[in-house]
Amino acid sequence: MSETSHDDGRLRDLLEQAARTTPDLSPADRSTAVVRRGRAARRRDRVLIGAAALAVAAAVAVPLSLHGDDVPEVATPTPASEPVGCPAAPADVTGPATSADLGEVTSVRLCPTVGGPVLASAVLSGDEAAAFAAAVRALPAYAPEDRCATASVAFEPWALAIGRADGGDVLVGSGTRHCSSVSIDGVRRDAGAVVQAFEDRAVLEAPRCDQAPADAGLGPVAARPRAGRICTEDADVPLSAEQTRVLGGDFEEPRGERRGRSCGPAAPARRVVLVDERGVVTTWTDAGCADVFHTDGATWAPSDAALQVIEDALSR
């Protein structure tokens, strides 16, 4: 219906009402009353329409305002954005073999163990964590070698904290790497192969000098270093991959103590912090005997190439 037709219909209704309710009015007064009633009706309609518009606006504004900065947001479950952490205390893996269901793996972290060495921080996340899970699931069921029946197995504890998308983090580990197994997704897998799948993907960094142990490590028998730092009272210098490789060459075969050097206070006292492929931290200190470094129960006499790396690092 057009606006003109609507107004005409309303005018006829007003005329009829005016005729019924004011029979004694003159024609002129009756016309005035009709006009007055028409204006009042229009004002009433505008008020009603305005009120309805305000009601609609309020209905829209309320849910929007609930998402404003001044109103607390409702917490919704989201995937964990932080990598899994280690237990508060070193993991005791000397008991029965552990078991775990991996689920959807989001992160994996190397964790300290009771009786184990000092470890560098190492964590996998994202695609690397998923690749670790895939590699572990692809391992065949554990079948011990014949020699395991009589072999004397070394104590080499390890533990991995595994973060899952559902928040149900798990810990898997073993007191040895050889002749032992852990249960993954209900299938027993070779323990050494499981931790190796982590080590193959981990990016290791030597701890900062203020966090490195003063005297710890496995000495010359440790595996080849993959990261390192040179420390003095005033310096904390990370080593490049090539520099670390040069230092690691000194541990590929036993070396005797360097002779013809006078033992006395080194100036300044130097520490070489190395991390091997298993994340084990070794700190070598030359305090008290220049160019001969000591760690827990071991001695290292750096080669000329290794000494040059140390000097170059401190001269930066």
In a domain, 211, yes or no: no
In this prediction the pTM is 0.66
Considering the domain architecture, whether residues 15 and 50 belong to the same structural domain is answered as yes
pLDDT of residue 215: 65
pLDDT of residue 287: 61
Measured distance CA(117)–CA(278) in Å, rounded? 10
Considering the domain architecture, whether residues 187 and 130 belong to the same structural domain is answered as yes
Considering the domain architecture, whether residues 177 and 224 belong to the same structural domain is answered as no
Q: How confident is the model at residue 152 (pLDDT cuts 50, 70, 90)?
A: confident
Provide the domain count of the chain.
3
Domain boundary among 199, 227, 255: 199
pLDDT of residue 9: 57
pLDDT of residue 143: 92
In a domain, 210, yes or no: no
Q: What letter does residue 228 receive in the DSSP assignment?
A: E
212-to-62, 272, 298, 315 alpha-carbon distances in Å: 56, 10, 18, 21
What is the pLDDT averaged over residues 121-127? 93
pLDDT (tens digit per residue) in 165-179: 998 899 999 999 999
In a domain, 227, yes or no: yes
Measured distance CA(248)–CA(206) in Å, rounded? 14
pLDDT of residue 192: 94
Residue 283 has pLDDT above 80, yes or no: yes
HSE, side-chain direction, 13 A CA sphere, residue 26 = 2
In a domain, 71, yes or no: no
In a domain, 263, yes or no: yes
Considering the domain architecture, whether residues 170 and 252 belong to the same structural domain is answered as no
How many other CB atoms are found less than 10 A from the CB of residue 261?
12
Measured distance CA(232)–CA(213) in Å, rounded? 14
Residue 71 has pLDDT above 50, yes or no: no
Residue numbers of the domain that contains 193: 99-199
Instruction: Give percent of the chain with pLDDT exceeding 70.
Output: 65
What is the pLDDT averaged over residues 24-36? 48
Residue 162 has pLDDT above 90, yes or no: yes
What is the pLDDT averaged over residues 17-34? 48
Considering the domain architecture, whether residues 146 and 188 belong to the same structural domain is answered as yes
What is the pLDDT averaged over residues 57-63? 33
Least confident of 5-9, 67-71, 84-88: 67-71
Least confident of 8-22, 64-78, 97-111, 278-292: 64-78
What is the pLDDT averaged over residues 243-256? 78
Q: How confident is the model at residue 157 (pLDDT cuts 50, 70, 90)?
A: very high
pLDDT of residue 122: 92
pLDDT of residue 73: 30
